[in-house]
Chains A and B, each alone.
Chain A
Amino acid sequence: MTPNRILWLVVKLAAAAAMAAAGYAIFFIAPDEQTMHDIQRIFYIHVASAWTAGVAFLIVALAGVLYLVKRQPRFDWLGIAAAETGVAFTSVVLITGPIWAKPIWGIWWTWDARLTLTFVLWLMYIAYLLLRSLIEDPQRRSVLCAVYGIFAFADVPLVYMSIRWWRTQHPQPVIGGGQGSGLDPTMWKVLLFTWAAVSLLFALMIRQRYRLESARYQTEVLRQELEDRKEAPAAPSRA
């Protein structure tokens, strides 16, 4: 077993242990919220997934910049891996949000700034994935996706700031939200621990998707090599 494989095995075990511990902390250590009570426990996975999606889209943008500067395929693979994983976590946010909202707001969904911008974010990265599948030329695809990934990231700070700039149905910020806002210290610890556990899971998911893209690239290279060999005229034999 190579040291790299051992490292990833350790990450896998750490992720499993951390997720189990996060589950215990969410249900048995985090205090009861005064107005929402138990339903507020969705907060931990909802917020941790939202932060993870934000990190994923930041990776897409950074990988895009690095690809445009260095033109190395590995940055393109990282971009697609982060985009797809980010879409998965944004999907979690968009589904767990309404499940939490219904008993509290009485409605599943409303088109307020935070919810709408998050939905737009999800659509933008779905479009990124579609763009990749529609462009056949690999170089053109990588360049366009890198540029798109950089511009699409502009929605992430908008999502973050939306509850500060506009009046929304979505709760006002409890983190860095100014006077009167805040989170119980134990809730904070549980949230940060859950985010760390989800981040380990995210690292595993992104690595797996990166490996897929790398294998696809190698397959394309070998396929091209095979075709070139078939097309090349046979060497003349000496009489």
Chain B
Amino acid sequence: MKNFESIFAAYLVFWAIVFVYSFTVSRRLARTEQDLESLKQQLRK
């Protein structure tokens, strides 16, 4: 396949952006849900 490196790089960029973005959102979501749970517990006291 001609220009294999370029094709590989383009598809790698696509997946890298999708995964890195989804990963960062997941981490932020997990942290926020943890905060939310701790606030709920504080309010129950």
Q: Do A and B bind each other?
A: yes
Once A88-B21, A223-B39, A226-B39 are accepted as A-B contacts, the answer to whether A102 and B32 lie under 8 Å apart by CB is no
Contact B43 A209 (CB under 8 A): no
Which residues does chain A contribute within 8 Å of B33, judged by CB atoms?
A: 215
Instruction: Kindly report which residue of chain B lies nearest to residue A42, judged by CB atoms.
Output: B10
Instruction: Kindly report which residue of chain B lies nearest to residue A37, judged by CB atoms.
Output: B2
Docked complex: A40-57 residues within 8 A CB-CB of B: 41-42, 45-46, 49
Report the separation of the CA atoms of residues A102 and B10 in the bound assembly, to the nearest whole angstrom.
Answer: 12
Contact B22 A212 (CB under 8 A): no
Cβ-based interface call for A183 (8 A): no
Contact B35 A45 (CB under 8 A): no
Report the separation of the CA atoms of residues A18 and B9 in the bound assembly, to the nearest whole angstrom.
Answer: 21
Contact A100 B43 (CB under 8 A): no
Which residues does chain B contribute within 8 Å of A229, judged by CB atoms?
A: 43
Cβ-based interface call for A95 (8 A): yes
Report the separation of the CA atoms of residues A32 and B28 in the bound assembly, to the nearest whole angstrom.
Answer: 43
Contact A45 B25 (CB under 8 A): no
Report the separation of the CA atoms of residues A89 and B1 in the bound assembly, to the nearest whole angstrom.
Answer: 27
User: Which residue of B7, B9, B14 is within 8 Å of A38 (Cβ)?
Assistant: B7
Report the separation of the CA atoms of residues A99 and B36 in the bound assembly, to the nearest whole angstrom.
Answer: 43
| A196 CB to nearest chain B CB (Å) | 16
| A186 CB to nearest chain B CB (Å) | 18
| A50 CB to nearest chain B CB (Å) | 12
Which residues does chain B contribute within 8 Å of A172, judged by CB atoms?
A: none
Once A39-B3, A205-B18 are accepted as A-B contacts, the answer to whether A211 and B29 lie under 8 Å apart by CB is yes
Which residues does chain A contribute within 8 Å of B29, judged by CB atoms?
A: 208, 211-212, 215
Which residues does chain B contribute within 8 Å of A92, judged by CB atoms?
A: 13-14, 17
Contact A96 B18 (CB under 8 A): no
Docked complex: A199-239 residues within 8 A CB-CB of B: 201, 204-205, 208-209, 211-212, 215-216, 218-219, 222-223, 225-226, 229
User: Which residue of A96, A103, A215, A216 is within 8 Å of B14 (Cβ)?
Assistant: A96
User: Which residue of B7, B17, B36 is within 8 Å of A42 (Cβ)?
Assistant: B7
Which residues does chain A contribute within 8 Å of B42, judged by CB atoms?
A: 226
Docked complex: B23-41 residues within 8 A CB-CB of A: 25-26, 28-29, 32-33, 35-36, 39-40
- 28 example contacts (A-B, Cβ-Cβ < 8 A) are as follows A37-B2, A38-B2, A38-B3, A39-B3, A39-B6, A41-B7, A45-B14, A49-B14, A88-B17, A88-B18, A88-B21, A89-B17, A91-B17, A92-B13, A95-B13, A96-B14, A99-B10, A100-B6, A103-B3, A204-B22, A205-B21, A208-B22, A211-B29, A212-B28, A212-B32, A218-B36, A223-B39, A226-B43
Closest 4 CB pairs of A and B: A222-B39, A39-B3, A215-B32, A96-B10
